[in-house]
Amino acid sequence: MSRLFRLLLTAIGVQVAAGTLQTVTERDVQADLSEGFCRNWVFGANIVDDVLYMNGMDGGSLDTDKNSSNNYFIKLDLSAPVDLQDGSNYKLSLVPTKVPKLRDQALWSNQANSTLFSYGGRSPSGKRPDDGGVWMYNIADGSWEEQKTSVKPVRLIEGAYINVPELQAAYYLGGYETKQTTSSITDDTKSYATGMIQYNTTTMEYTLLEAPFTPVQQGALVYLPSRDKGALVFLGGEVPASKSSVDPEITTNSWDYVQVYDIEAGVWYNQTTTGDVARRTQFCASVMHEPSSESFQIYVISGADYESKEIVKDVYATLAPWYRAAGLSKGRMSHTCQAYGRQILGVGGRQSYVGRSDPKAGCYKTPTFLYDAQSELVRNNFDPALLSYSIPSSTAGDIQNSPTPSVWDNPSLAFLFTDGPNNRPSTKKTQSQSTNKGAIAGGVVGGVAGAAIILGLVWFFLRSRRRKAQKNDTERPETSERKPPILGELSADQVLRELSASQSRVEVGSHGSQLYELDGGRTQQSQSQKQSMDRHSEERPER
């Protein structure tokens, strides 16, 4: 048989082996993961009404499929005890071909628990997405629909994001665009976002908020239901030397501080932490709360050391000093976290800092692992009855001795995280809220990851349940604006001139906090802002 004939047969889907011709058979579409699974990252994940939803897996990840054009949506029923290591419990459905096949998406939900929103993500193939960037999944009938907006949003990856259903809001901080996210980018440029997106999950409007420490990638963003509308906390992350560059120099943020966003006031603050903890990347984070302790713990789950590329397996706690807690037997990085009661579900990820096709990335039987934050153990079985959380005995003494930072970096933080008269100090702002937020049509991406389980606990002394959410016009003391790592009070209300790209993940329950409606569009975005939304990007390194 001639070489040319062999090439022609191969091109039309016929294999030549041992002198025989064999038709290539198409693999079956899978109904669940009972026939095997190796690994996948980075999943978009969200728990809604006792169901864990996951998107971002193609048939190429399944030995019994091997068709990478098959785009799967995964559901795991959490309404009853379930063995997380049994692949038959993970139900699969094909995503319609009209929906772009993407990785590293954020998956948010609305307050009514009727709709999921998929934002951001990169194309795993050479085909760049040309859709509007946000797709909605109707939970009742399982249908997908593209969100139609007047302004085409940018598609971001590698930012930090959080879903806050009780506020009818989701947030996406930092990240960037590349040629895998944006069709107008044709080279290897990374174009970084310089702010934070707030998405109103009821009105489906987007507002661009300032985040003075951006551009940034990776890191984790979590929600704490403290006084008024609560606070967002950003920790970790990496800062590029340039907002738009092919291969920007990256510097890791210090873990000696976290950034705190007062949602009601629209202001960013820096809060210093103490103690030693290794800097890490591609971790995920989740929040736990023991009502009797009036404190919240931010668990940082696993990750990889940014410099050595080694998986980190230790567990720490912070905002008083960092405290060490029990970790995972095997680390993970580039995974997503979702909390259900005291149980933290880690979704997807890899077990080594290597490329996607490298076998050292490790295989695991099913997409999720479970970390019990109270017992500090990894378990195979999920139990929906394990709702209440108590601080582990190994760290209870430390928390009692240091329930709050010894010094608040700003008086307004003490107000935000403690009980007392609801006399909110006023915050000096450079512009009024009515003119400094631009409504944008866009979305948000998610997914943070890590290696081995590294549980970082951030201790906040919060009395979030025994106060009314009121607004007060009392003057708040002025504070100067400072750059990281020593951020003072930073206004988050100035209009950003340009939006680029981003990534990061984690969902936290309301813990009984009141419900609010966020104004998603006080002003319309300027034409220059709209134009800036339709450009930039770069190729993400293979993870």
**pTM value surpassing 0.75:** yes
Which pLDDT does position 396 carry in this prediction? 80
Which pLDDT does position 282 carry in this prediction? 94
* DSSP β-bridge partners for residue 368: 347
Characterize the bridge pairing of strands 456-461 and 315-318: parallel
225 inside domain: yes
Same domain flag for 128 and 16: no
Geometric angle at alpha carbon 122, from 34 and 93, rounded to 5°: 30
Higher pLDDT, 1 or 361: 361
At 414 the three-state DSSP class reads helix
Q: Is 148 exposed, middle or buried (0-12, 13-18, 19+ CB in 10 A)?
A: exposed
39 inside domain: no
Same domain flag for 19 and 48: no
pLDDT at 47 over 60: yes
Which pLDDT does position 150 carry in this prediction? 66
CATH number of the domain at 303, please.
2.120.10.80
Structure tokens at 515: 């419900």
pLDDT at 517 over 50: no
375 inside domain: yes
pLDDT at 251 over 90: yes
38 inside domain: no
Query: Using 50, 70 and 90 to split pLDDT, how confident is the model at 227?
Result: confident
Which pLDDT does position 16 carry in this prediction? 28
35 inside domain: no
Same domain flag for 1 and 130: no
* DSSP β-bridge partners for residue 171: 162, 198
400/455 Cα distance (integer angstroms): 19
Which pLDDT does position 381 carry in this prediction? 98
Which pLDDT does position 167 carry in this prediction? 98
Same domain flag for 232 and 314: yes
Ranges 75-84, 239-248, 369-378, 452-461, most confident: 75-84
Residues for the chain: how many in total?
543
Which pLDDT does position 357 carry in this prediction? 73
- pLDDT, tens digit, 9 for 90 and up, residues 252-294: 998 888 999 999 999 999 998 877 777 899 999 999 888 877 6
pLDDT at 476 over 90: no
Q: How large is the average pLDDT for residues 201-215?
A: 93
Query: What are phi and psi for residue 363, nearest 5 degrees?
Result: -110, 150
Give, for 223, the enclosing helix (H) or strand (E). Answer: strand 220-224
Same domain flag for 10 and 129: no
How high does pLDDT run on average in the chain?
75
pLDDT at 228 over 70: yes
Q: What is the domain range of residue 526?
A: 44-533
Higher pLDDT, 151 or 15: 151
Characterize the bridge pairing of strands 368-372 and 267-272: unpaired
Higher pLDDT, 67 or 91: 91
Same domain flag for 227 and 78: yes
User: How many domains does the chain contain in total?
Assistant: 2
Same domain flag for 74 and 1: no
Query: What are phi and psi for residue 135, nearest 5 degrees?
Result: -120, 140
Higher pLDDT, 510 or 28: 28
Q: How large is the average pLDDT for residues 455-479?
A: 39
Geometric angle at alpha carbon 199, from 173 and 182, rounded to 5°: 60
37 inside domain: no
- pLDDT, tens digit, 9 for 90 and up, residues 328-358: 888 899 999 999 999 999 999 999 988 777 8
Same domain flag for 10 and 145: no
Q: How large is the average pLDDT for residues 22-49?
A: 79
pLDDT at 9 over 60: no
Which pLDDT does position 524 carry in this prediction? 36
390/298 Cα distance (integer angstroms): 14
59 inside domain: yes
542 inside domain: no
Same domain flag for 20 and 146: no
Same domain flag for 122 and 24: no
- pLDDT, tens digit, 9 for 90 and up, residues 142-183: 999 998 766 666 899 999 999 999 999 999 999 999 999 988
Cβ proximity of 416 and 231 under 8 Å:
yes
Query: Using 50, 70 and 90 to split pLDDT, how confident is the model at 423?
Result: low
| Residue among 420, 389, 419 nearest 511 (CA) | 389
pLDDT at 295 over 80: no
- pLDDT, tens digit, 9 for 90 and up, residues 61-85: 787 888 888 899 999 999 999 999 9
Which pLDDT does position 343 carry in this prediction? 96
pLDDT at 186 over 70: yes
Same domain flag for 368 and 398: yes
Q: What is the 3-state secondary structure (H, E, C) of 235-302?
A: ECCEEECCCEECCCCEEECCCCEEEEEECCCCEEEEEECECCCCCCECCEEEEEEEHHHCEEEEEEEC
91/46 Cα distance (integer angstroms): 15
In what order do the strands lie in the sheet containing 377-379?
Answer: 336-340, 343-347, 368-372, 377-379
Same domain flag for 288 and 359: yes
